[in-house]
Amino acid sequence: MLDWKGALQRVEALEDLTFDDSIIAKLQQAPHSSNLINFYTPTFKAYSSSELSSCGSNAWPAVSITGGDCKLQCDHCKAAILEPMIPARTPDELWRLVNGMVETGTQGMLLTGGSNHQNKVEYDNYYSTIRRIKDEFPHFKIAMHTALVDEDIALCMEQSGIDAAMMDVIGAQETITQVYHLKRTEADFERTLEILVNTKMKVVPHIVIGLHYGELLGEWNALEMLKRHVPDAVVLVVVMPQYAGEKRPFVTPDTDEVGSFFLDSRLALPDTPLLLGCARPAGVAKMKIDAYAVMAGMSGIAHPADGAVELAARLEKQVKVTPSCCSIAVGDEVMAVETTDNAIELNLEEILAHEKENRRSFPAPVSALSKIKVVSDVGINR
């Protein structure tokens, strides 16, 4: 039987990190429906084909109908996520923007915006324009952060042609009240999930691990909701403390607890693609989180930390790499649910050769990804 702990220690980038042996043992014993793992990363250009290397930095831009404005001002974000997004404050502006995107070869976009005080993004005036976009450019994919919806709103989204609906699933009333500043309930979030999975849209909900000021609180209840209303895929992200305000700071979630939650997620949703989104703390925390994600049998990992790809190969997983550029990870996530046609299959020898070359290029003990500016999709539906 393969020694997973030994495999971890053979990965140079991970050899000095401390992992929980009991979690590793449980992860190894857990049933995995697939041995395939796809990494979405800008760091494997040496393996890219001419088609893959032509991927542009605007392949999946994020567009906000409210610009950087959000009325909720949730404690984990304070609207900082929205600020770098492309504003489209009117339907006409959205139409012109998409036309320009299509001309430059953009594949699709994330459409989002700041929420009102009821945790709803006010898309009403945009649905006819979205329908016009989909009729004119049927290949152009639109993923939408829905926030909370009722059946009428979900029908409008479906009829407008939205390809993928995304929402944060929150399972703790304390988090809804204290972090999101909402007078809504856990049942409201579950009802939105139920409504969305009953549409024809692809539904890819998110669980933000550590959403309660860096502590895990409602994540397991959120998993129970997903078990009752199974979506097309689930994106797991880990809260990033740097986005929080000074008055209510967040701690970095305990990485071993995050690893344990990955195990529980895999057991709860054995046949559902689980994807690790790009939003997670940097540095050593990211390296440990990504290693646990590999061992948990994630279907895909966006922008992996040093050592993650090599670990997957050493664990005898079927490793594929999609050399995606620095577009927001949500684009990769939606594409991951649909296809892995653009992925390149790698073996351990190729990965080790790449890692050796990478260490020559970056002799300092920092990730090559640390300097890459990435727009995260965590917690947008406020």
For 137-173, the DSSP string reads: -TT-EEEEE-BS--HHHHHHHHHHT-SEEE-B----H
**Ramachandran angles phi, psi of 304, nearest 5°:** -65, 150
pLDDT at 365 over 70: no
What pLDDT is recorded for position 327?
41
pLDDT above 80 (res 130): yes
The pLDDT-based confidence of 361 (bands split at 50, 70, 90) is low
Q: What is the pLDDT of residue 371?
A: 38
Higher per-residue confidence, 230 vs 328: 230
Supply the pLDDT for residue 216.
98
Say what angle helices 255-268 and 219-228 make with each other, to 10 degrees: 10
The predicted-structure confidence for 29-45, as pLDDT tens digits, reads as follows: 998 878 999 888 765 54
| 260-317 residue pLDDT tens | 999 999 999 999 999 998 889 999 999 999 999 999 999 989 888 999 999 999 999 9
Rounded mean pLDDT of 232-239?
A: 93
Question: What is the pLDDT, as a whole number, of residue 281?
Answer: 94
Please report the pLDDT score of residue 369 as a whole number.
Answer: 36
Tracing tokens 């009802």 back to the chain, one arrives at: 191
Question: What pLDDT score does 48 carry?
Answer: 46
Q: Which domains does the chain have, with CATH numbers?
A: 4-361 (3.20.20.70)
How many CA atoms, within 13 angstroms, populate the side-chain half-sphere of residue 363? 1
**The pLDDT of residue 60:** 77
- Residue predicted with more confidence, 208 or 77: 208
Query: Would you say residue 240 has pLDDT above 80?
Result: yes
Rounded Cα–Cα distance for residues 379 and 167 (Å): 9
What is the structure's pLDDT at 81?
Answer: 76
**pLDDT for the residue 248:** 83
Residue 372, pLDDT score: 33
Residue 55 — very low, low, confident or very high, per pLDDT cuts 50/70/90? Answer: very low
In the structure, what pLDDT confidence band is assigned to residue 339 with cuts at 50, 70 and 90?
A: low
Tell me how far apart the alpha carbons of residues 65 and 88 are, in angstroms, rounded to a whole number: 5
Candidates 192, 230, 183, 189; CA nearest to 208 is 189
What CA–CA distance (Å, rounded) separates 185 from 328? Answer: 30
Average pLDDT, the chain: 85
Q: How confident is the model at residue 62 (pLDDT cuts 50, 70, 90)?
A: confident
Please state which of the ranges 10-19, 37-46, 47-56, 119-128 shows the lowest mean pLDDT.
47-56
